[in-house]
Amino acid sequence: MEKIFASIITIGDELLIGQVVDTNSAWMAQELNKAGIWMKHRTAVGDVWDEIWNALDGESKRAHIILITGGLGPTADDITKPLLCEYFGSKMIVDEGALANVKIIFERILKRPMIERNLKQAEVPYGCTVIQNKRGTAPGMWFEKNGKIFVSMPGVPHEMKGMMTDYVIPALQKHFTLPFIMHKTLLLAGIGESFLAEHIQEFEESLPAHVKLAYLPNYGMVRLRLTGNGDNKNELENELQNKFETLKQLVAEWMVIDDDLTMQQAVGKLLKQKSKTVGTAESCTGGYIAHLLTSEAGASAYYKGSVVSYAYETKEDVLHVSKETLATVGAVSEETVQQMAKGALALLNTDYIVATSGIMGPDGGTTEKPVGTVWVAVGNKEKIIAEKFFFRFNRQRNIELTATNALNMLRKFIIEN
């Protein structure tokens, strides 16, 4: 079966200068991959006519499908639509469905009058298939030329995702005969990428050509992803599962979860399974662990709350860390995080607790406690354990590594206790 390739073109000066982060391409690539479409290339161009035109020419030589986002707004720098009109040798017409949608949004939702510029949103090149925008005013457009498919969508992520999910992906699946692409993912912690690659080298070398292994390292963790492709869904599923079980046995010592989840998702899933709750007492992480846990929907089922005890006085007054402890061994110490954990357990009335205290940098380190020194405590009302870490990166990465290791300590403690 022929592989079907897609390219993505994102349009906008704001993307090139980093004013807006391009999250569209990553999401679109994931959805295309799920549908059995392989990504060939991604490119970003500014709001420049020649650059957009050349990108369309270039990507149409690489791929069967060219997906375009951005440049469909009502302002002067939004040139995608007139350019597409010229590129496909068409003329601009008003699409009645798009016009009705614009009117509804302004009259019923925004409750303000339209101006001529807003009505221009309903114009599309004659001959394209209009993709109605259920989440905004700018319609999408589907073109076909020389056996290639071009789809233009708004750059607003919420609007683009609606079009991709409701129309574009189903239409592509009908248009092409697509293979099955399947993934199986493991999350590991406590092992480096190089050592891991050495450990499973024989397994990796034994994989057939249609099954690939990818290493995805990030902040003290490594995801291992097996990807298989084939024409027979059941055969592929069984084969990939067998390979996955073998891989799990090889890395069981470091495995966090046999699913494509983050560390906070894995911890949340574990707490839900046990019907237990957790709270956090954070100093150096400044609430970042709380942020990670509560970024997941349904976190209220297992997360009680946090005390961000950044100052000495807060550690003393709220968490009842003793003044003597802070005066003798300091805030970054085993004794302090132990007392922080104990105080937070009582205050928040949780089953489990995580406490952190450290020096994130770039300043504040000493010879005895250099930047990157961190103490983490986890525990319950019966037992609290603490561990010391040394990180060597910038402030933000030190915070993220502390959070990852703290959550992994918590995960292990829950399993063992």
Where a domain ends, among 175, 205, 240?
Answer: 175
Give the per-residue pLDDT at 224. Answer: 97
Which residue stretches of the chain have pLDDT < 50? none
Q: What are the DSSP calls for 308-326, one per residue?
A: E--SHHHHHHTT---HHHH
Q: Is the same domain home to 171 and 216?
A: no
- Same domain for 104 and 191, yes or no, is no
Residues 117 and 233 placed together within one structural domain of the fold: no
Same domain, 138 and 17: yes
Asked which of 148, 175, 202 is the last residue of a domain, the reply is: 175
- Residue 235: per-residue pLDDT: 96
* Residues 34 and 116 both lie in one domain: yes
Q: Which residues pair with 148 in a beta bridge?
A: 145
Residues 242, 272 share a domain: no
Question: Domain end: 159, 175, 191, which one?
Answer: 175
**Phi–psi pair at 187, nearest 5 degrees:** -110, 125
The residues near 343 (Cβ < 8 Å, ≥ 6 apart) are 281, 307, 318, 319, 320, 321
At residue 111, the pLDDT reads 75
Structure confidence at residue 220 (pLDDT): 83
- What are the tokens at 283? 């100093």
Instruction: Say if residue 346 is in the same domain as residue 230.
Output: no
Same domain, 44 and 134: yes
Q: Give the pTM.
A: 0.82
Quick one: 293 and 327 in the same domain? yes
Same domain, 196 and 268: no
pLDDT for position 121: 87
Residue 234 sits in the same domain as residue 359: no
Residue 364 region, left (φ>0) first, then alpha (ψ -120 to 50), else beta? left
β-bridge mates for residue 248, sequence order: none
State whether 288 and 380 are in the same domain.
yes
Strand partners, 228: 182, 211
Report the CATH number at residue 42. Answer: 3.40.980.10
CATH number, domain of 410, equals: 3.90.950.20
The confidence score (pLDDT) of residue 112 equals 78
**Residue 187: CATH number of its domain:** 3.30.70.2860
Owning domain of residue 208: 180-257
Count of structural domains within the chain? 3
**Residue 76 pLDDT:** 77
pLDDT value of position 54: 98
The string of DSSP codes covering 2-17 is: PPPEEEEEEE-HHHHT
